């Protein structure tokens, strides 16, 4: 295979992967709406094939509604739901699962096409296999998450399971994007700076922790427990964030402590991103690095504002859906932005 043909094939595979990146971003967006509308437990069974088709007849809808009526979420939270209310939450959970199936189909069809046309090199097979495994794992984690909310005395999915599902989606997204960038000739020009790479690694760790606590905030529905800013229900250091025993339970299960960590971590990230931006002002000659460097600062500023607005509107369900969804979507954009910067900067 000559270099021109190989380059053309690589670009085609990269574009296919970038389409996958876009689809994953849409899936996370749909997942955010599904969570914020409390739709996740509306479908109580996992049917990989037949579940792709929603109920059509009145009897089918009545059967699905009856299954939902057996959940504690319905008994204690949504007991007043009518059939139209149920159809609304059913749609979002069904659409979330349908989009996941569609992504799997796009991956399978694309992979088959590139194999038949012999456009894949040997060094692409293992990363693509890993991509398939990550996608399948994400689906399995999603069902484990749903099952965590279908047990007695549980009204919602577990916040740890929800966070695991979200972090797995972020890993899948970043892995797919990294693979795509490695095949894109536009990203061949990289910056060699060990200090800058170490700073990016630190930022990546901080963002990962922040994403985890963002998942905890969502799963615990913590926004509504302290809808104030800059204080937390009137206090900068609320005593209630230490009320659980043993002490480490507060780090994972105390709404107010999760609030405190998520807010404080955001300020820390903002400071470090600003320092990173100032540290890199003398770097010239790499248009892509300049773009992603500026967008990282812009996105983190937007994310902080959205976070504040989301918290302050935590007592208003209608506003919370849209602000929370926007907040989660910008988090995904930040993950992509940081992945691109990580790819563009090398130690050697």
- Report helix, strand and coil shares of the chain as percent, to nearest 5: 75, 0, 25
Least confident of 3-17, 24-38, 213-227: 3-17
Task: Report the distance separating Cα 240 and Cα 22, nearest Å.
Answer: 41
In this predicted structure, what is the pLDDT of residue 248? 92
In this predicted structure, what is the pLDDT of residue 2? 61
Q: Give the H/E segment covering residue 345.
A: strand 345-346
In this predicted structure, what is the pLDDT of residue 254? 95
Q: How many helices (H) and strands (E) does the chain have?
A: 11, 2
Residue 226's SS3 state is coil
Query: What value does the mean pLDDT take over residues 138-158?
Result: 88
Query: What value does the mean pLDDT take over residues 130-134?
Result: 91
Contact 254, 241 (CB under 8 A): yes
Cα separation values, 41 from 86, 164, 256, 274, 321, Å: 11, 17, 26, 41, 17
Q: Give the H/E segment covering residue 191.
A: strand 191-192
Contact 290, 231 (CB under 8 A): no
- Residue 164 pLDDT grade (very low, low, confident, very high; cuts 50, 70, 90): very high
Enter the pTM of the model.
0.93
User: What are the two backbone dihedrals, phi and then psi, of residue 250, each rounded to the nearest 5 degrees?
Assistant: -60, -30
In this predicted structure, what is the pLDDT of residue 188? 87
**pLDDT of residue 267 exceeding 90:** yes
Q: What average pLDDT is seen over the chain?
A: 92
Query: What value does the mean pLDDT take over residues 58-75?
Result: 92
- Residue carrying the six token digits 């922040």: 210
Q: Give the model confidence (pLDDT) of 268-281 as tens digits.
A: 999 999 999 999 98
């Amino acid at each position: 295979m000559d270099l021109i043909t190989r380059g053309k094939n690589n670009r085609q595979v990269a574009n296919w992967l970038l389409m996958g990146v876009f689809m994953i971003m849409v899936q996370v967006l749909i997942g955010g709406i599904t969570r914020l509308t409390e739709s996740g437990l509306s479908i109580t069974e996992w049917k990989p094939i037949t579940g792709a088709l929603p109920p059509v007849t009145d009897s089918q809808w009545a059967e699905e509604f009856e299954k939902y009526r057996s959940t504690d979420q319905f008994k204690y939270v949504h007991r007043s739901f009518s059939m139209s209310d149920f159809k609304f939450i059913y749609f979002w959970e069904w659409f979330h699962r349908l989009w996941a199936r569609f992504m799997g189909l796009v991956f399978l069809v694309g992979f088959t096409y590139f194999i038949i046309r012999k456009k894949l090199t040997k060094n692409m097979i293992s990363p693509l296999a890993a991509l398939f495994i990550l996608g399948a794992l994400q689906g399995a984690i999603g069902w484990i998450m749903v099952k965590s909310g279908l047990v007695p005395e549980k009204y919602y999915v577990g916040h740890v399971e929800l966070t695991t599902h979200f972090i797995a989606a972020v890993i899948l997204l970043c892995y797919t994007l990294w693979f795509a960038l490695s095949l894109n000739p536009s990203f061949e020009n990289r910056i060699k700076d060990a200090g800058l790479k170490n700073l990016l690694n630190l930022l990546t760790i901080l963002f990962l922790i922040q994403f985890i606590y963002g998942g905890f905030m969502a799963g615990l529905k913590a926004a509504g427990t302290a809808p104030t800013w800059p204080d937390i229900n009137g206090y900068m250091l609320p005593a209630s964030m230490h009320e659980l025993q043993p002490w480490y339970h507060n780090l994972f299960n105390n709404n107010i402590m999760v609030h405190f960590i998520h807010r404080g971590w955001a300020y820390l990230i903002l400071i470090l991103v600003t320092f990173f931006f100032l540290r890199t002002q003398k770097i010239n000659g790499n248009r892509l690095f300049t773009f992603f460097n500026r967008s990282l600062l812009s996105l983190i500023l937007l994310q902080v504002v959205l976070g504040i607005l989301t918290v302050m509107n935590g007592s208003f369900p209608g506003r919370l859906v849209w602000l929370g969804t926007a907040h989660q979507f910008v988090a995904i954009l930040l993950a992509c932005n940081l992945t691109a910067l990580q790819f563009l900067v090398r130690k050697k």
